[in-house]
Amino acid sequence: MNTSDPYHHDHTPRNLARNAPLRYDRPAAATPASPPAPASKLVDAQGLLNALFEEDSRPSLRWLRQMQAQRRIPYVKIGRLVRFDVDEVRAALAENSTVRARVPQRMGRRIR
């Protein structure tokens, strides 16, 4: 072989010893230490309302879309479809909810 040829390529790895046998074994399959956690199920808007609220106290679909537009609840867009993770929305609603104490008043004026 002409090694001065610029187009000559030696296809053997250079970091191997000259007399070492080449091994092209498949790597052993990695076994996970624990099974992966199940992925959360994504639901549409009506499915989210059904999962979060009882039928007699369920807010409207319009309310849900307003919360989505105000970015008060997390959502995922897949193309033109909007989906919700029930656990994430439940956590976001719990985080954003507030309970305010009533302010005592005397004769129409606040006590300071």
Q: What is the pLDDT of residues 27-81, one digit of tens each?
A: 566 656 655 555 678 999 999 999 999 999 999 999 999 999 999 999 999 999 9
Q: Which residues contact 59 (CB under 8 A, 6 or more apart)?
A: 49, 53
Nearest to 89 by CA among 45, 57, 59, 55: 45
Residue % of the chain over a pLDDT of 90: 46
Under a CB-based contact definition with an 8 Å cutoff, are residues 74 and 89 in contact?
yes
Residue-level pLDDT at 45: 96
Mean pLDDT of the residues in the chain = 78
Name the pTM for this structure: 0.54
Indicate the residue type of 86: V
Q: Rounded distance, CA 41 to CA 86, Å?
A: 8
Tell me the CA distances in angstroms from 7 to 1, 14, 15, 42, one per residue in order.
12, 17, 21, 55
Q: Is the pLDDT of residue 13 over 70?
A: no
Range picked from 8-22, 40-54, 98-112 for highest mean pLDDT:
40-54
